[in-house]
Amino acid sequence: DVKVTQSSRYLVKRTGEKVFLECVQDMDHENMFWYRQDPGLGLRLIYFSYDVKMKEKGDIPEGYSVSREKKERFSLILESASTNQTSMYLCASSLILGRGYTFGSGTRLTVV
Amino acid sequence: QKEVEQNSGPLSVPEGAIASLNCTYSDRVSQSFFWYRQYSGKSPELIMSIYSNGDKEDGRFTAQLNKASQYVSLLIRDSQPSDSATYLCAVKHGSGNTGKLIFGQGTTLQVKP
């Protein structure tokens, strides 16, 4: 089974801090994704990547950036954390674009 | 109109009953459809995928797709309390190698013993 590992389960950060969320998958998947999930808003795509060093904006990229230096690792960066970025962040990967994703266990980020 | 719509529920069914979860989508060229189960505090888990019209069965789960009506559903037979979760419908918008999964907001299912 594909394993998608997110480095932190819970994080608390201060407003204005630069925050790094890490995601690693172990099945050589080309495609990786970052979503945030909020009550009443569902899953919203922040960024995705089809290949190393390649990135595409999703639906809500403002305030975020990403890095994919190696195929197995996709990092989400909050340039200057704000309270409205408090959320559950979910990383996912897939072998074939548009096929079923495998999600990591999620990182619940609280910005205070 | 939302791209993928689900009734948020909660849908409450007694143990042993059939639970029927519904989803409609707006993009007529959509090719791939998925159902995810998400327990409270956990991440979504893929439980069913369907790509062609008709029914697809896997154990107690049946996915049904009607592309003409832009409708996909999930039936859970012999519902168990352990099936209580939020079920997310996801649709691949666009064709070919482009496109991305669009998720509905999910339907909360409660199975009462």
Q: What is the pLDDT of residues B32-67, one digit of tens each?
A: 899 999 999 899 999 999 999 999 999 999 999 999
Q: What is the DSSP string of A31-79?
A: EEEEEEEETTTEEEEEEEESSTT--EE-S--TTEEEEEEETTEEEEEES
Which of B43, B90, B98 is opposite residue A106, by nearest beta carbon? Answer: B43
Residue B112 has pLDDT above 80, yes or no: yes
Q: Using CA atoms, how far apart are residues A2 and A12, in angstroms rounded to an integer?
A: 28
Is B93 in contact with B44 (CB distance < 8 Å)?
no
Q: How far is A82 from chain B (nearest CA, A)?
A: 23
Q: Using CA atoms, how far apart are residues A74 and A89, in angstroms rounded to an integer?
A: 13
Q: Is A55 on the interface with B (CB under 8 A)?
A: no
Q: A97 pLDDT band (50/70/90 cuts)?
A: low
Q: A100 pLDDT band (50/70/90 cuts)?
A: confident
| Residue B92 confidence (pLDDT) | 86
Residue B83 has pLDDT above 90, yes or no: yes
Q: Is A105 on the interface with B (CB under 8 A)?
A: yes
Q: What average pLDDT does the structure give for chain B?
A: 91
Q: Is A101 on the interface with B (CB under 8 A)?
A: yes
Pick among A8, A33, A95, A97 to test the B interface (most B CBs inside 10 A): A97
| Residue A20 confidence (pLDDT) | 97
Between A95 and B87, residue with greater pLDDT: B87
Q: How far is A25 from chain B (nearest CA, A)?
A: 15
Pick among B101, B102, B103, B107 to test the A interface (most A CBs inside 10 A): B101
Is A38 in contact with A108 (CB distance < 8 Å)?
no
DSSP annotation of A83: G
Q: Using CA atoms, how far apart are residues A64 and A35, in angstroms rounded to an integer?
A: 11
